[in-house]
């Protein structure tokens, strides 16, 4: 996991869109948010985070196939400390098999 979060970055998540959408409400906590197709706008006072995602071809390792969801993060109106505080919780709730 990163300890410093830029205003914009991209990640590949090992999940389907359905799984991602199931985890998203807990990951954003008390922040208000709304979804618009493959985008979500999350109000993170004093700013916001816009997420966009797209399913990618699965990763194949021997006989294992893992789904890949490419997620773009775009913060606005938040400094580095505020982005870190939000992402610390977000990452904890998005972890698979641990946390």
DSSP string, the chain: --SS--SEEEEEESS-HHHHHHHHHHHHTT--EEE-SSEEEEEETTEEEEEEEEEEEEEEETTEEEEEEEEEEEEES--HHHHHHHHHHHHHHH-SS--
pLDDT at residue 1, as a whole number = 45
Single pTM value for the model: 0.89
pLDDT at residue 97, as a whole number = 53
> Which domains are delineated in the chain?
8-94 (3.30.1370.80)
pLDDT at residue 99, as a whole number = 42
Mean pLDDT in runs of 10 for the chain (99 residues)? 81 94 95 97 98 96 94 97 96 74
Q: Nearest 10 degrees: CA dihedral of 20, 67, 1, 87?
A: -10
Residue (of 29, 55, 56, 60) closest to 42 by Cα position: 29
43/65 Cα distance (integer angstroms): 35
């Amino acid at each position: 996991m990163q300890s410093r979060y830029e205003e914009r970055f991209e990640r590949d998540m090992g999940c389907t869109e359905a799984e991602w959408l199931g985890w998203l409400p807990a990951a954003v906590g008390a922040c208000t948010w709304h979804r618009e197709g493959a985008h979500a706008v999350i109000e993170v006072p004093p700013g916001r985070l816009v997420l966009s995602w797209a399913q990618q071809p699965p990763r194949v390792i021997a006989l294992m196939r893992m789904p890949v969801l490419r997620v773009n993060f775009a913060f606005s109106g938040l400094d580095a400390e505020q982005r870190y505080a939000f992402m610390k919780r977000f990452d904890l709730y998005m972890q698979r098999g641990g946390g």
